[in-house]
Amino acid sequence: MDNQTPILSARNLHICFNLRGRVLHAIRGIDLDIYKGEVLAIVGESGSGKSVFTKSFMGLLDANGSITEGTIDYYGADDGKTIRLSGLKKEKDWLKVRGHEIAMIMQDPMTSLNPLKTIGDQIAEAVELHQHLKGKAAREKAIEYLRDVGIPDPERRAKQYPHEFSGGMRQRVVIAIAVACNPQILICDEPTTALDVTIQAQILELLKEMRVKYNLTIVLITHDLGVVANIADRVAVMYAGDIVEIGTADEIYYDPRHPYTWALLSSMPQMGVKGEDLFNIQGTPPNLFAEIRGDAFAPRNPQALKIDFVKQPPYFTVSPTHRAKTWLLDPRAPKIEPPAVVQRLREEGI
């Protein structure tokens, strides 16, 4: 990983949706640099804004949503020019970004595949659009991609349709199509949630290989911190439309600072103790229609401080790579020990 070069930066990003005259504030002032070549995991509960945030990189927000403040800049274009993604309006401009610069893989591979076209044709189409190859050359290249993503007997499989593939194999095909577009950034939105555990691990392994082979920057979205431990270089923890903690994977697993990160770690299935109920984060995320005061997680944090209900914490720096938005890092804060699970992770590893 090249630690120095951001490929995409979001600054003070706000995204709102209009819903029958009311405004839902889905993304609330995100600042983030994504570095070239890294695997960045974005974790957080359902509704925390993981999909909305990353869809905004590709102009894929639903029609009732828009960026209301802040910027997203992309630095990976061939000509070296910065593209201000938050300023793109025309579909024509987005078509130059989608697939070609930034590609996305969704949870359900069926939604991204055309049931009426062979797998080979679908990959060849991506090759023709993005790689200046036509006809037979594109079809041959498609077979190469199928082989790359671990589909056995690719010549024969290329002639088959999506329904002839298992869930895991379909997700491999979707990865092949994404890679065939030659993107710089690959966003994987819960790519393995619908798959069983063994297949899940295989797909993550494949993403690791693809990242090296095709020089990809990968953004991996998940609600389960346990799943990404082996693949992520850095982890960003999202809560109520903001990144409340970010650090290297080691920092997030072994030295987490935000009470919400503690809660997420405690609720990982592998941290369960036999015979005991798995830890569940109590309460529900805040209502994003209402204005949020203080630390958004405070109402669910049994050890919240007074100030947590009054003032939003800024980022406090833990290390050059690690920061968290929690008043616990203020020098004046009382010392609150992380839960036992954090200690256990430190001792036993993940």
Ligand X SMILES: Nc1ncnc2c1ncn2[C@@H]1O[C@H](COP(=O)(O)OP(=O)(O)OP(=O)(O)O)[C@@H](O)[C@H]1O
Q: How far is the CB of 46 from ligand X (least distance, A)?
A: 3
Residue with tokens 């290989």: 209
Using CB atoms within 10 Å of the CB of residue 266, give its burial: 0 to 12 exposed, 13 to 18 middle, 19+ buried.
buried
Give the C-alpha separation, 79 to 14, whole Å: 29
Partner in contact with 157, chosen from ligand X, Mg ion, none, beta carbon below 5 to 8 Å by kind: none
Q: Which does 60 bind (CB under 5 to 8 A by kind): ligand X, Mg ion, none?
A: none
336 binds, among ligand X, Mg ion, none (CB under 5 to 8 A by kind): none
In the complex with Mg ion, the residue whose CB is nearer, 15 or 143, is 15
Closest contact distance (angstroms) between CB of 142 and ligand X is 30
CB of 193 to Mg ion, least distance (A): 9
Could you tell which of ligand X, Mg ion, none binds residue 86, using a CB distance below 5 to 8 A set by kind?
A: none
Of residues 112 and 122, the one with the C-beta less far from ligand X: 112
Task: Please give the residue ranges that form the binding site for Mg ion (CB under 5 A).
Answer: 51
The SS3 call for residue 310 is: coil
For the beta carbon of residue 294, count every other beta carbon within 10 angstroms: 18
185-189 and 102-105 beta bridge pairing: parallel
Q: Report the C-alpha gap between 31 and 37 in whole angstroms.
A: 19
Which residue spans within 75-118 are E strands per DSSP?
Answer: 83-84, 102-105
Burial of 235 (0-12, 13-18, 19+ CB in 10 A): buried
51 vs 261 by CB, closer to Mg ion: 51
Site for ligand X, rule CB under 6 A: 17, 19, 24, 26, 44, 46-52, 62, 64-65, 223, 288
Residue 107 or 160 having the CB closest to ligand X: 107
Q: Compare residues 51 and 200 and give the one whose CB is closer to Mg ion.
A: 51
Q: Report in angstroms how near the CB of residue 288 gets to ligand X at its nearest.
A: 5
86 residue type, one letter:
S
CB of 242 to ligand X, least distance (A): 11
